[in-house]
Structure formats: C-alpha cells, structure tokens
C-alpha cells in the first residue's frame, strides 16, 4: 500500500469554526464517521436492518452523554451503516461537569474511566469516541476505527433545528442518496433540497 508523504499528511484543515467559543450555549448538528466509510455499525439479516454489536456500543455511549456531561442535552439522532448524525445542545442553564468514576462502578457505564475537564463540544465528542473505542477493544472487535475529527453545524434558530431534525429522521430512507454511501445515487430532487445544507455541514464551497 502506498503511504502518504509527510506533506500530504499535514494538509488537513480544521473543520471547527475559527474563532467560535465552544463554551457558549447552543445547539450543534454533529456527524461522526467510521474510517474509510466501512459498514460496521449495522447488519442486514433477512432484509431486516439492525445495529451491529459495535453499533449497539455507539448507541449506548451516545445515549449516556448527558449522564456524564450534565451541561449537555440530546435531541434526535440516528446511527447509519458508517456514521452517526445527532443534535447535541450545550445548555447555558447547567454548570459544571460530572468528574471521575462513581464509587460504585456499573459495568455498562462506558465513561467510567474518563474525566473531562472543560465544558466544550470537542471534549464531549472526543470523550464519546474514546468511550466507544475502549468498549469495542474490550470486546475484541478489530474491524472498527473512527475517522479523524468530526463534522459539525451550528444551529442558529428554530427553523434550522426543525430542518435538521427532518434530515436526520429521513436519513435512513434517503441512504441511497447519502454522500457517506460509497454507492451513492445522484438524485436531482434530493440535491435541490439538501445540497446547500450538506455543503455547509461538510465545509464545502462552490
């Protein structure tokens, strides 16, 4: 396999919004992808689509975020074959972070060894990804790795929030048109409806 040169390796631009204070309260649309877009989060059995064992870990870790970051709230989210979409809120009305593991350890608590220090979205996502990685390694799953970094979109008003909720809820039905699908089918109506939004989310410019 051909390896990238050092110059290629470092041509990675940040996808965080430059100058934005991530300790501010607000809602964010987050997309976290599996490395190389591998289909490892779902399984197909007799035409039924279910979460894979790794997908189950992702589901539980994401659902547990507010229990470990008490300044966060979760809105709608969906787990797709190779990525997760979700809305996460950094709440102004909450203060502090739940630190360290509880005295009585719960085996299903995937965050128990992680102690976040700052009230920011990047810390939340980094800790979530680390919790998933820790659990899949404990279960000897060797075919899974996260894509470096993640995508975010700052939700500025209620209309945007409702549109993003629609996008997330409809994502499984629109999988054939999804840009994360290696076998993506081009569809004009889908493009007209979502192209501008996806360009904003994935930091694309025309």
Residue 14 lies in a domain: no
Range of the structural domain that residue 145 is part of: 20-156
Residue 102 lies in a domain: yes
Mean pLDDT of the chain: 76
Residue 144 lies in a domain: yes
State residue 200's pLDDT score.
76
Residue 135: half-sphere exposure toward Cβ, Cα within 13 Å: 23
* pLDDT tens, position by position, 143-152: 688 998 899 9
* pLDDT tens, position by position, 152-164: 988 888 888 888 9
State residue 205's pLDDT score.
29
Residue 180 lies in a domain: no
**What is the CATH number for 24?**
3.30.70.1290
Structure tokens given for 31: 């997309």
Structure tokens given for 45: 């059995």
Q: CA 194 to CA 206: how far, in whole Å? A: 15
Q: CA 176 to CA 151: how far, in whole Å? A: 20
State residue 47's pLDDT score.
61
Neighbours of 93 (CB within 10 A): 7
* pLDDT tens, position by position, 57-92: 999 999 999 999 988 999 999 999 999 999 999 876
Q: CA 129 to CA 107: how far, in whole Å? A: 18
* pLDDT tens, position by position, 122-143: 999 999 999 999 888 887 776 6
State residue 142's pLDDT score.
67
The answer to whether residue 98 scores a pLDDT higher than 50 is no
What is the total residue count of the chain?
A: 206
Residue 206 lies in a domain: no
User: Residue written as tokens 């008490």?
Assistant: 70
Domain count, the chain: 1
Residue 183 lies in a domain: no
Bridging pattern class, strands 26-33 and 42-45:
unpaired
* pLDDT tens, position by position, 32-62: 999 998 999 988 776 677 899 999 999 999 9
Residue 83 lies in a domain: yes
Q: Which of 184, 37, 77, 122 is nearest to 195 (CA)?
A: 184
Residue 205 lies in a domain: no
């Amino acid at each position: 396999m051909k390896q990238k040169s050092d110059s290629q390796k470092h041509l990675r631009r940040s996808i965080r919004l430059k100058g934005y204070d991530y300790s501010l309260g607000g809602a964010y649309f987050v997309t976290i992808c599996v490395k190389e877009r591998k289909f490892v989060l779902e399984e197909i059995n007799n035409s039924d689509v279910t979460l894979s064992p790794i997908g189950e870990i992702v589901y539980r870790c994401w659902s547990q975020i507010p229990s470990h970051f008490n300044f966060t709230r979760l809105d709608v989210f969906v787990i797709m074959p190779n990525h997760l979409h979700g809305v996460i809120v950094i709440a102004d009305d909450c203060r502090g972070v739940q630190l360290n593991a509880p005295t009585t350890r719960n085996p299903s608590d995937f965050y128990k060894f992680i102690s976040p220090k700052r009230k920011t979205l990047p810390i939340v996502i980094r800790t979530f990804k680390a919790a998933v990685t820790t659990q899949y390694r404990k279960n000897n799953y060797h075919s899974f790795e996260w894509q470096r970094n993640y995508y975010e979109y700052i939700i500025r008003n209620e209309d945007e929030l409702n549109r993003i909720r629609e996008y997330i809820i409809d994502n499984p039905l629109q999988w054939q048109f999804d840009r994360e699908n290696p076998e993506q089918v081009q569809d004009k109506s889908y493009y007209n409806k979502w192209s501008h939004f996806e360009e904003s989310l994935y930091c694309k410019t025309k």
